[in-house]
Structure 1
Amino acid sequence: MLDVDDFWALVEGSATVTVQPDERLAWLTDRLAERPLAEVLDFAARLDEARGRADTWRLWAAALRICGGLCSDDGFHYFQAWLVGLGRETFDRVVADPDALADVPQVRRLAGRPVRDWADDEWPDWECLDYVADEAYERITRVHEGLDEALEARGLERSLIPDPQDEEWDLTDPVEFARRCPRLAELFPVPRR
């Protein structure tokens, strides 16, 4: 069984090898493919559980503000994976208080810069983390796209899009955002028209 601690150890272990997202993904896939198949399914389940914890309107508003208004359903889904990639301590702190993103070095580096000037690897998204368990599953079983069916046999279904269950509010309201995330509002002010 791959429990929550094992999940975070793998994610954080990838960051000790390299900071390059693609290299981290390759390392994670290789390590996961060396484990029993049940642990590959567990990894997918742990990632989905982490995403569920980060699936809030307040965190989506923070992502939207950081990304200059460019944070669709898919974008927020990838933002959640990026947040997982920052490691357990940062993830827990930000899930508890999205305004804590103002302390994250990767976020601070983006402040004051137009999104058009960001390099691809600076964007706060890590879409390909979703594919690590799929690729490890395929390596072990030689079955293409079989992970979801295996998870369903366990009674699990991965989330494919965000579905926050907390109170919805107008994420684009600058006054409300400043009330909920004052430090991020200061770092990423709304452009004057």
Structure 2
Amino acid sequence: MSLTKFWELVETCRLLTESREMRLAWLRDDLSRRSPEEIVEFQICLDQVTRQAFTWELVAAAERIFGGLCSDDDFCYFGLWMVGLGKEAFGRAVLDPDTLADTPEVMRLAGRTWRSWGDDWPGWESLDYVALEAFGLATRDPDECGDAFYAAVRTRRGDRAVGQGPSGERWNVWDEQEAARRLPRLSAMFPLSADA
């Protein structure tokens, strides 16, 4: 599966479904009708795309949105959530994280505390498991497929680097002058307080 085909699937499920759960069900169903090799390729593409988002600038954007605190897990799920925004919004955010301020999904969060986000929460952990679930359905072994799936992903990925730290320059999102310079719109939408 190419990155083009990967993004076509993401965009199609965005058009045909309304909620994240419906998108997952759609993706699981579509992928489970494909070959195990294609399902593994979907995961490889997902890993490759989310790796592009692993930058200190996007970490800072996520920290700003989350009120100054964003754990490693929160950021991982945030990157998966960004995939769900679609190719165009994802690509813009990788190049300029402040463009997240233009997305309806982020606009809905502004002015609210994270405790009230509910289904709008900017994280999508379950997207990282949809290929595994589809692999189990395709191989008719949903309970015992994990080892085979992850072994196939490692084999297909080969020596390509995974697990390295974020790229770019780390900076302090609590430095309001720096935040206003680097993320002007997100900083205005998500002011930080010492109580965060």
Matching of residue 135 in structure 1 with residue 133 in structure 2: yes
CA offset digits 1:30-87 (Å, max 9, x no partner)? 1011111111111001101111110001101111111123421000000000000010
The 5 A counterparts of 1:103-122 are 103-119=102-118, 121-122=119-120
1:148 to 128, 133, 150: 150
The match for 1:189 is: 191
Using the size of structure 1 for normalisation, the TM-score is: 0.91
Q: Structure 1 pair 115/190, CA: closer, same or farther in 2 (3 Å)?
A: same
The match for 2:123 is: 125
Q: Structure 1 pair 127/156, CA: closer, same or farther in 2 (3 Å)?
A: farther
| Alpha-carbon contact 1:32-1:136 (below 8 Å) kept | yes
Cα shift at 1:158: 8.9
Paired residue type of 1:138: G
Hey, what's the Cα distance between the residues in 2 that align with 1:20 and 1:153?
Answer: 33
Paired residue type of 2:70: C
| Alpha-carbon contact 1:83-1:91 (below 8 Å) kept | yes
Paired residue type of 1:136: A
RMSD of aligned alpha carbons: 1.8
Paired residue type of 2:10: V
Q: Aligned pair count?
A: 190
Hey, what's the Cα distance between the residues in 2 that align with 1:57 and 1:80?
Answer: 12
Paired residue type of 2:120: E
Hey, what's the Cα distance between the residues in 2 that align with 1:164 and 1:20?
Answer: 30
Hey, what's the Cα distance between the residues in 1 that align with 2:179 and 2:164?
Answer: 19
User: How much identity, in percent, do the aligned residues show?
Assistant: 47
Hey, what's the Cα distance between the residues in 2 that align with 1:184 and 1:108?
Answer: 10
The match for 2:6 is: 7
Hey, what's the Cα distance between the residues in 2 that align with 1:126 and 1:103?
Answer: 19
The match for 2:178 is: 176
Q: Structure 1 pair 158/36, CA: closer, same or farther in 2 (3 Å)?
A: farther
Matching of residue 78 in structure 1 with residue 77 in structure 2: yes
Using the size of structure 2 for normalisation, the TM-score is: 0.90
Gaps of 5+ in 2: none
Single out whichever of 150-159 and 167-176 deviates more from structure 2: 150-159
| Alpha-carbon contact 1:28-1:132 (below 8 Å) kept | yes
The 5 A counterparts of 1:50-65 are 50-65=49-64
Cα shift at 1:139: 1.4
| Alpha-carbon contact 1:78-1:126 (below 8 Å) kept | yes
Hey, what's the Cα distance between the residues in 2 that align with 1:112 and 1:162?
Answer: 34
Cα shift at 1:144: 2.2
Hey, what's the Cα distance between the residues in 1 that align with 2:6 and 2:26?
Answer: 14
Hey, what's the Cα distance between the residues in 2 that align with 1:22 and 1:156?
Answer: 33
| Alpha-carbon contact 2:68-2:173 (below 8 Å) kept | no
The match for 1:17 is: 16
CA offset digits 1:115-164 (Å, max 9, x no partner)? 12222x101111100001111111122242121111122216795x6720
